[in-house]
C-alpha cells in the first residue's frame, strides 16, 4: 500500500529541493518533478518527492480528515 500526504512548502532551494511541514515536522524533499513550487504551496509527498500540487482548501480538508481519523482511532 502506498501513502501520499499533503504538506505545506516552507522553503524552496535552488537545487530542486524544498522543505515541507506536516504536523509540525519539517522534512527536505525533492521538488524536481514539479514546475515553479513556491513557499506556502501545498504538495503531495510520496517517498521524499513532491509529486503534485494541491489546492490549499483541499489540503486543509484532507489534513482535517486525517486528524479526525486519528482521534477516532484513539
Domains and CATH numbers, the chain: 5-73 (2.30.30.140)
pLDDT at residue 45 is higher than 60: yes
pLDDT of residue 1: 56
- The pLDDT mean for the chain works out to 92
38 pLDDT more than 90: yes
Res 74: pLDDT: 81
Cα–Cα distance measured from residue 40 to residue 15, given in angstroms and rounded to the nearest whole number? 18
42: pLDDT confidence band, cut at 50, 70 and 90?
Answer: very high
What is the pLDDT at residue 5? 87
Alpha helix (H) residue ranges in 1-74? 56-73
| Residue pair 54/45 in contact by the 8 Å Cβ criterion | no
* Residue 51 C-beta-side C-alpha neighbours within 13 Å: 9
Amino acid at each position: 500500500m502506498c501513502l501520499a500526504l499533503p504538506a505545506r512548502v516552507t522553503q524552496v532551494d535552488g537545487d530542486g529541493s524544498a522543505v515541507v511541514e506536516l504536523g509540525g515536522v519539517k522534512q527536505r524533499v525533492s521538488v524536481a518533478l514539479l514546475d515553479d513550487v513556491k513557499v506556502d504551496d501545498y504538495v503531495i509527498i510520496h517517498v521524499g518527492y513532491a509529486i503534485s500540487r494541491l489546492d490549499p482548501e483541499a489540503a486543509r480538508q484532507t489534513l482535517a480528515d486525517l486528524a479526525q481519523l486519528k482521534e477516532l482511532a484513539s
